[in-house]
Amino acid sequence: MSGTVHDLVARRGILDHDIFFDHAGRIYFVLGHYQPADRIISLLKYVPDKDGTWVHRITGKRYARSYWHQGIDAFKDAEKLSSAPGQDDLAPWHVDDPVFGTTFLEVPLDSIEDYLIPELRLQEILEAPGEQLDDLERIVKSVVTAVLKNARMPDLTAEEFGITGSILWRGHSDRSDINLNVYGLKNCTKLEGRLASLAKRHVMLSAGLTVEMKGFDDVPAIAVEREVSKVALKRKPKLKLKGFKPGIQIRWCLHQDELPMVYGTERYKEIGIKKVKVRIVDDTFTLFFPAMVRVEPIEGDKKIDRLLIYDSRFTRLFRNDDVVEITGLLQDIIGMGKRQILMGSKQHGTEERVVFLETGGKA
């Protein structure tokens, strides 16, 4: 990292899926692009452990992974480990967030030892000769090259990609997956559509590299009425490389200030779990974390203006003209005369549910 983390915030911003180390050598994953100015909402991902199976390739230091699950379970696993013996100094960082009114792990900027930049790590891989790369790095280079070639987007360059996960902090092994970041609202929206088109036409991007459309069949909290086909919910283009079992994940990331909200300018008051029927009217930010989706109430509370989604089970899910019945945490947007449904409340996560009544938009 060049300069202090404060310099980084001013120059680039804290972006979703970044990774950083604290002074104790613990490794964190930045959680979303809706961040306070002096701390980072994050998940504790790895902790130093002499018996850990994740090994830093330069220092040789061993780490244990904090969590394995998606969605609300990731919070719970990370919190359990961070409250374990030897991690009690984390307690002050588990705070009741003044904006959301729920508990997050929020790491002060001054407690960060090293901040890793996904774009710089990827550029290092792309510019290095093949003989200087390990097997996973070579795969990353070939995948990014193939995506750029097939995207046919003149404004999309390699600088708008990054690599996160274990390869970013150099703890990768043959079991590591590839977490490829794409940056910028327009880039993400256009590339997602382009990949979906390639998937539907069964285009092979390079030898063994294809795109398939993944749905939400494995999420128990998402259901459809009889009139809605589950095929219509195959909305997530996913890269698949033959023989590469760990998998490739695409992470859609906003640049700094692209989300039309600034942390702290809104506050929310919990009302309680409610079931409402709404139509999706603006899915511009459905790909991102948190996802923010504008809605029009059909039945239930008429003040509901949007969904704010802090649970990866429901990001990338909603598209324009979908009609859905949603069970989630109803909140007042204080002082605006509007309300939102928060998906991803740790207290009510097991009660959250989405039922599709009609589908619209692009599948």
Q: Is 6 helix (H, G, I), strand (E, B) or coil?
A: helix
First to last CA, the chain: 40
Q: Average of pLDDT values for 167-190?
A: 96
| Residue 305: CATH number of its domain | 2.40.50.140
- The DSSP code for 37 is S
Using the predicted structure, report yes or no on whether residue 259 has a pLDDT greater than 80: yes
Q: Domains in the chain: how many in total?
A: 3
- The DSSP code for 254 is P
Judge if 247 and 122 occupy the same domain: yes
pLDDT category of residue 5 using cuts at 50, 70 and 90: confident
Inside any domain, residue 262: no
Inside any domain, residue 319: yes
Inside any domain, residue 263: no
Q: Average of pLDDT values for 309-330?
A: 94
Q: Average of pLDDT values for 170-191?
A: 96
pLDDT category of residue 67 using cuts at 50, 70 and 90: low
Inside any domain, residue 258: no
Specify whether the CB–CB gap between 173 and 195 falls below 8 A.
no
pLDDT category of residue 326 using cuts at 50, 70 and 90: very high
Give the domain-ending residue among 227, 253, 279: 253
Provide the token pair at 121: 């790590």
Using the predicted structure, report yes or no on whether residue 322 has a pLDDT greater than 50: yes
Give the tens place of pLDDT for each residue, 202-248: 999 999 999 999 999 889 999 999 888 888 999 999 999 999 999 99
Judge if 154 and 241 occupy the same domain: yes
Judge if 249 and 336 occupy the same domain: no
Using the predicted structure, report yes or no on whether residue 73 has a pLDDT greater than 60: no
Judge if 81 and 162 occupy the same domain: no
- Average pLDDT in the chain: 90
- The DSSP code for 5 is H
Give the domain-ending residue among 81, 116, 151: 116
Judge if 122 and 209 occupy the same domain: yes
Using the predicted structure, report yes or no on whether residue 70 has a pLDDT greater than 50: no
Distance CA(341)–CA(99), nearest Å, equals: 14
Using the predicted structure, report yes or no on whether residue 296 has a pLDDT greater than 90: yes
Provide the token pair at 7: 């310099």
Provide the token pair at 206: 């390079």
Give the domain-ending residue among 91, 116, 141: 116
- Please give the residue range of the domain that contains residue 329: 268-358
**Percentage of the chain modeled with pLDDT above 90:** 72
Specify whether the CB–CB gap between 198 and 213 falls below 8 A.
no
Among 256, 314, 310, 249, residue whose Cα is nearest residue 280: 314
Using the predicted structure, report yes or no on whether residue 3 has a pLDDT greater than 80: no
Distance CA(70)–CA(73), nearest Å, equals: 6
Distance CA(250)–CA(268), nearest Å, equals: 31
Inside any domain, residue 64: yes
DSSP codes of every residue in 296-330? EEEES-TTEEEEEE--TTTTT---TT-EEEEEEEE
Exposed e or buried b for every residue in 127-137, given b needs 16+ CB within 10 A? eeeeeebeebb
Inside any domain, residue 171: yes
Cis peptide before 290 (omega within 30 of 0): yes
Which pLDDT value is given to residue 184? 97
Between these two residues, 6 and 234, which has the higher pLDDT value? 234
Judge if 145 and 65 occupy the same domain: no
Judge if 67 and 125 occupy the same domain: no
